[in-house]
Amino acid sequence: MVGMIMKSQDQHLAEAFRGPFPEGAETRRSQTTHLDLSGNLRWLVNDDGPPSRRLSPYVGPLVHALKSAGHLVSVAIPAASRSWIGKAHIIEAPLKATYVPPAAFRNDGTWDELHEVDSESESETEWPWVVITNGTPAACVQLGLFNLFTDRPPIDLVISGPNHGRNASTIYNLSSGTVGGALEAATCGKRGVAVSFGSKDEQPMDIIEAAARLAVRIVHHLMENWDERVELYNLNIPMRLDVETRPVLYTRTLPYYWSRGCLYAEVGGHGAAEAGVGVKKAMTNGITNGHAHVNGEAEKEKVTDIETLSNGVQTNGTKPTSTLRSRDFKWSAELTDMKKALQASEEGTDAHTVLNGSTSVTPLCANFWYVPGLEGPLHL
């Protein structure tokens, strides 16, 4: 599991801070000097993919807020939504990095392939975003750290998000692609901050901008006051207009386990509605630009795609004949029990904090820690 820096309740209360942040806060620091925002690079990755009003509405405003605060920002994101994928890499799928000027995005998860940069309206110093076909958040982190940005200043922080919805409790933290991106950064020796904006409902732009401004202030504060025991932070920010004046609290992760682990529903046959019901493709956006088909020149170049493999054999899009019994399932998460548990969570946890209108900052370590006391030979 993701390790957490544990603090007593008294420490939580003593270390709670309200915006604006108090100067001279007494925290254990690995960096004590004020940040030179122009020298190093803040790098952003997400799991919701390119800007999309429905699936990825928060990434553009956060990039804008970071730049407005003086940060140098590079962006590398999956070409399609990769929610619930954790820190996974899809090793059989080749990755394609496409450099997309920000103005080319259509706000529906796609972009204009023929966009031409207008030097009068688009700054020559405006770095294009890098969109990774078949990429996961962890894959984007790997490419960003070691392949894509070698001609830019060194990356000193990886920001993963903002997620379209909360990532509070162990279940979400262990499943989240947003947290997974920050975990990948930590395992590569970089500081990571996962940022989640706490609503999947469509939000007015002034609320989104307020959350983005607060996220930037928190990131800046954490970088100047980074606790040497922490490898990554998990931020959960409620979506409300007054969020910048609400408390910002250090929290602990709410422990939670599936009481009813029902994430998939059967489709077709066995009582499922057969009319108008189908299995959704894994890629929920980026269909036009973010999908590598295997045909024509791509096939000649031995480019494979995860959806063209059947029983370990490349099928080039054809459906093989089989006499074996099969059943189809689609993603249909049953979250009723989880929502009840989050609403009943204890004070001081990430879930309780964000659900009650405050911002949660959870310090974490990137490890599956062993259980002490079980040592020596195992006698069978």
Whether the pLDDT of residue 105 is over 90: the answer is: yes
Per this entry, what is the length of the chain? 380
Residue 296: what pLDDT? 38
Which residues does 348 contact at the CB level (< 8 Å), separation at least 6?
Answer: 9, 12, 251, 252
pLDDT of residue 166 exceeding 60, the answer is: yes
- Where is pLDDT greater, at 341 or 175? 175
User: pTM value?
Assistant: 0.79
Question: 3-257+342-365 belongs to which CATH class?
Answer: alpha beta
| Average pLDDT across the chain, whole number | 81
pLDDT at 36 over 70: no
194's enclosing H/E stretch is strand 192-197
> Residue 260: exposed, middle, or buried by beta-carbon count in 10 A (0-12, 13-18, 19+)?
exposed
Out of 27-36, 43-52, 133-142, least confident range: 27-36
Q: Which of 163-172, 258-267, 326-335 has the lowest mean pLDDT?
A: 258-267
- Give me the phi and psi of 192, to 5 degrees please: -130, 145
Give the residue among 121, 77, 118 at the shortest CA–CA distance from 99. Answer: 77
pLDDT band at 316 (very low <50, low <70, confident <90, very high): low
